[in-house]
Amino acid sequence: MEKKSLVEPILYALFVLVGMCFLTLFILFVVLVTGGIFYIALIITTAVVLYVFYVCVLFHFFKTKKRKVAFGSLAGAAILVSAIPPIQHTYTDRIPTVEAEVNVYDYMPFSDSGKIATLDYDATLKLTEDLPKMDGATALYPLYSAFVQATYPEKDYNPYESEVMVNTTPDAYSHLMQGEVDMIFAAAPSQSQTKTAKQNGKELKMTPIGREAFVFFVHQKNPISDLSMEQIKNIYAGKVTNWQEVGGLNDNIRAFQRPADSGSQSALEHLMGDLPIMEAPTEDIASGMGGIINEVSQYKNYKNAIGYTFRFYSTEMVQNKKIKLLEIDGIAPTKETIRSGEYPIASEFYIVTAGTDNPNVEKFIAWILSPQGQELIEKTGYISLD
C-alpha cells in the first residue's frame, strides 16, 4: 500500500478509535452504576478485540488463513479469560442465600398477617400516651411487636417511622445512645458498643426478659450434624480449616462471619472468650440478619460452609429447608434443651435502656416481666425466664 493511500485508512482508524473509546466509557459507566463491576474486564477486552479486528480488516491483514486462525485464537483466548469473573459471579449468584431477609411488615403491630402472637384476654397494662419509643434486632421484632399490640393503642406503627421501629442491632444501639429511642430489644452489647456508651456518658442497663439459643448451621447435605464446643471455637479461631479434621469430608471449611457489632457477631465474641476470632475474607462476612463494615455478599449456602444465627430467626422467621442446625456437644437446640439449660450456648436477650425520662418505660418493662408478658414470649416462640 502506497504512503499516500495510507492516510485515508489511518484517519478512519483514528475516527473509529475515538468513537469506540466514548462508547466503551459510556457502557462502563452504566455497568458500574448498576453494580456490574465483574463485567469490566470483559467489556474492555471485547472492545479492544473488535477494534483490532477492524484495523486488521482495514489494512488487509487477513490475507492468509494462518493469520486469521492466529487472530481468532488470540482473540478467543482473551475474551474467554476476561469472561471468567462474570461467569463465577453468575454461578455464585445462583447459590441460594441462607439468611434471606424477612418482610418485617408482616410483623407490624395490628397487621392482618396473623403472624403476631396474642393473649386470649386483655392485658393489665394499657398505654394511651407517652408511648415508649423502641427499636431492636430483626429477630426480636415479632416479640416486641406482640408486646405493643397488647398494650399500645391501635394505629399505624411503621417499622421505620414510628414509636416502634426495627433495624439491625448496631443501628438499634446507635439510636439508643443518641437518645432517639427509650429502649431497644437486643442481644448483649459488643465490647465496642459498651465502650462507645461509656464514651458518650451513657450507662447501658440490661434487663433480661427471655432466653434464646445461639446456633450454628451447615448445608443440609453436609454429613456433619454435631460439633463439640472446642471444635466450633477452633474453626472460628482458624485452627481447624478442613471438614475432615472434625469427621467430615475432605473439603475446606468456609466459615462465614457477620458484621461487627451485629447481635450474632457479638454472641460469637462472647462464646470465643479470649480466643481471637480469625479474620474473615470479605466475601465471608454476611450482611443482613438474613447484613456492615463494607458492602459484601450475603451468606451463600455453599456445601462446605458454616454459619451462625439465633434459633428463632432461622426456624420460625426464615424457615430455610436447605440448612440444618448443628447439635453442640450432642445437644440439639430445642425449646426444651434451652429451658433446661442442657444446650450449652443458650443466653438471655434483653431490653436495653440508657437513661430516659419517659414515665411509662419502667411500667412497660415490669409488665413484660409479669406472667402476661412472659406468656407472650412463649407464644411468640421464645423461651420465658420462668
**SS3 sequence of 57-82:** HHCCCCCCHHHHHHHHHHHHHHHHHH
Residue that finishes a domain, picked among 50, 68, 94: 94
- Do residues 232 and 378 both lie within one domain? yes
Count Cβ atoms below 10 Å from residue 63 Cβ, excluding itself: 8
* Dihedral sign computed on CA atoms, order 291, 295, 300, 306: negative
Distance, CA of 276 to CA of 191 (rounded, Å) = 14
pLDDT tens track, the chain, 386 positions: 455 567 777 888 888 888 889 998 988 888 877 767 778 888 899 989 898 988 888 888 888 888 888 888 998 898 898 888 777 766 555 544 444 456 788 889 998 887 888 999 999 999 999 999 999 988 889 899 999 999 999 999 998 889 999 888 888 898 999 889 999 998 888 888 888 888 888 889 999 999 888 888 888 888 899 999 899 999 988 898 899 999 888 988 888 877 666 667 777 888 888 888 887 655 554 444 443 222 223 455 567 888 888 887 766 655 566 778 899 999 998 889 988 889 998 888 899 998 888 999 999 999 999 999 999 999 988 889 87
Distance, CA of 187 to CA of 333 (rounded, Å) = 17
Burial class (CB in 10 A: 0-12, 13-18, 19+), 308: buried
Residue-level length of the chain: 386
Domain of 20, in residue numbers: 3-94
- Do residues 62 and 175 both lie within one domain? no
- Do residues 239 and 349 both lie within one domain? yes
- Do residues 49 and 197 both lie within one domain? no
The residue written with cell numbers 450456648 in the block is: 345
φ/ψ of 71, rounded to 5, equals: -65, -45
- Do residues 175 and 261 both lie within one domain? yes
- Do residues 192 and 229 both lie within one domain? yes
What secondary structure, in 3-state letters, does the chain show?
A: CCHHHHHHHHHHHHHHHHHHHHHHHHHHHHHHHCCCHHHHHHHHHHHHHHHHHHHHHHCCCCCCHHHHHHHHHHHHHHHHHHCHHHHHHHHHHHCCECCCCCCHHHHCCCCCCCCCCCCCCCCCCCCCCCCCCEEECHHHHHHHHHHHHHHCCCCCCCCCCCCECCCCHHHHHHHHHCCCCCEEEECCCCHHHHHHHHHCCCCCEEEEEEEEEEEEEEECCCCCCEECHHHHHHHHCCCCCEHHHHCCCCCECEECECCCCCHHHHHHHHHHCCCCCCCCCHHHECCCCCCCCCCCCCCECCCCEEEEEEHHHHHHHHCCCCEEECEECCECCCHHHHHHCCCCCEEEEEEEECCCCCCCHHHHHHHHHCHHHHHHHHHHCCECCC
Distance, CA of 48 to CA of 56 (rounded, Å) = 12
- Do residues 103 and 89 both lie within one domain? no
The residue type at 308: Y
| Tens of pLDDT, residues 94-134 | 544 444 456 788 889 998 887 888 999 999 999 999 999 99
Question: In CATH, what number is assigned to the domain containing residue 122?
Answer: 3.40.190.10
Q: Are 131 and 340 in contact (CB under 8 A)?
A: no
- Do residues 335 and 268 both lie within one domain? yes
- Do residues 257 and 374 both lie within one domain? yes
Distance, CA of 316 to CA of 117 (rounded, Å) = 13
- Do residues 118 and 85 both lie within one domain? no
CA nearest 115: which of 383, 385, 381, 384?
Answer: 381
- Do residues 134 and 252 both lie within one domain? yes
Distance, CA of 80 to CA of 291 (rounded, Å) = 33
- Do residues 89 and 30 both lie within one domain? yes
Written as nine digits, the cell of 381 is 416462640
Q: Domain count of the chain? A: 2
